[in-house]
Structure 1
Amino acid sequence: MTVGTFVLLSLAGGVGAVGRLLADAALTRGVPRRFPWGIFVVNVVGSFFLGFVTGLAQSSVLALPWLAVVGAGLLGGFTTFSTAMVDTVRLVAEREWGAALANAVGMLALTIAVAVAGIALGGAL
C-alpha cells in the first residue's frame, strides 16, 4: 500500500465515522430509543455498498487501492458491528428479548443478503 493510499484510507475512515454519527442521529430523531433503527439501517446500507464496490473491484471496474479507500476506509468507518452488539446487550439488559434477537440475528441475516446483492450488482457492471 502506498503512503497516498494509506492517507486517503485513513481520511475516508474518519469521514465514514462522521457519516455514521450523522445518519444515526437523523434516522433516530424523534424515534423512541427502544430499537436502534439508526445503526441497523447504517449497517444494512453500508453492507450493500461494500458488497457493490467489492463486486466492482472483482470485475476490474474499480482498482484495488480504491476498494481499500472506499471499502475499508469510508464504509468500514461508516458501519459498526461493535455498536450494534452493544445495542443488543442493552436490549437484553432491558429484557427486550424480541428486539435483541431482531437486532442481532436480523441485522446479520440482512447485511449478508444485501452484501451478496451488492456484489452481484457490482460484478454485473
Structure 2
Amino acid sequence: MNWLLVVAGAVVGAPLRYLTDRAVQSRHDSVFPWGTFIVNVAGCLILGLLTGAVAAGAVGSHLQLLLGTGLCGALTTYSTFSYETLRLAETGARVFAAANVVASVVAGLGAAFVGVVLARAVWA
C-alpha cells in the first residue's frame, strides 16, 4: 500500500516538474536554468510545510509518503540541477554556474525553513 502512495505522488510530480520547467524556461531568455531552480525551491517549500505539519501531528505518514516522497521526490531534481550547472561551467558561463549553486542552496534551505515556520504557525 505504501509504495502505491509514492507512485501516485510521483505520477503527479514528474509531469508537473516537466511542465513547470518548460513554462518557466520559455518565459526567460537566459542561460540560467530558471525552470529547474523554481521546481526545486517549490519542492523545498512543500517539503518544509509537510515536515512542519508532520511534526505538529497534523499530517500522518500516508500523506507524508504521497506528498513528501512521491510528489516532491519526482518534482525536484538534483541530477538536472547538477547537469545544468556543469553545462553552464563547460560552456563558459561560470558566473551563472556559481550563481545557480549558491542561489539554489540558499533559496532551497530558505524555502524549507519558511515552510516549517508556516506549518508551525498554522498547526502549533
Give the TM-score category using the shorter length. Answer: over 0.9
The 5 Å alignment of 1:1-125 reads 3=1, 5-125=2-122
Q: Distance in 2 between matches of 1:104 and 1:45?
A: 16
Residues 14 and 75 in structure 2, CA contact (< 8 A), matched pair in contact too: yes
Deviation at 1:103, TM superposition (A): 0.6
Residue-by-residue CA offset, 1:21-52 (whole Å, 9 max, x unaligned):
00001111143351100100111111011100
Q: Distance in 2 between matches of 1:30 and 1:47?
A: 22
Amino acid of the residue matched to residue 109 of structure 1?
Answer: V
Residues 5 and 62 in structure 2, CA contact (< 8 A), matched pair in contact too: no
Deviation at 1:77, TM superposition (A): 0.7
Residue-by-residue CA offset, 1:78-118 (whole Å, 9 max, x unaligned):
01111011000000001111100011121011100110110
**Aligned residues: CA RMSD:** 1.1
SS at match of 2:114: helix
Q: Distance in 2 between matches of 1:64 and 1:58?
A: 11
Residues 10 and 74 in structure 2, CA contact (< 8 A), matched pair in contact too: yes
SS at match of 2:24: helix
SS at match of 2:57: coil
SS at match of 2:49: helix
Unaligned runs of 5+ in 2: none
- Number of residue pairs matched? 122
Percent of matched pairs sharing the same residue: 33
Segments of 4+ in structure 1 off by > 4 A? none
